[in-house]
Amino acid sequence: MNALIIFMVRLIIGLAFGILLIRLFRPEWGIYQGVITGIILVALAYSFSFFRKRKQ
């Protein structure tokens, strides 16, 4: 797959899960904290992928 497509899929899924997690555990927080959590999840996905490739 193209790297841009993989990035877009990770971004959409990460944002959706970030918003979902924030709404489940901290309903008083706004949508912006959910977006930030989603961005953190995407960054973690790329960092784990980087470390996995480096290890091999």
pLDDT by residue (tens digit) across 4-20?
A: 998 999 999 999 999 99
Q: What is the pLDDT of residue 55?
A: 67
Q: What is the pLDDT of residue 56?
A: 66
Cα separation of 21 and 7, whole Å? 21
Q: What is the pLDDT of residue 50?
A: 86
pTM: predicted TM-score of the whole model, two decimal places: 0.80
List Cβ neighbours of 38 (8 Å cut-off, separation of 6 or more).
11, 14, 15, 16, 17, 18, 19
Tens digit of pLDDT for each residue in 16-33?
A: 999 999 999 999 998 999
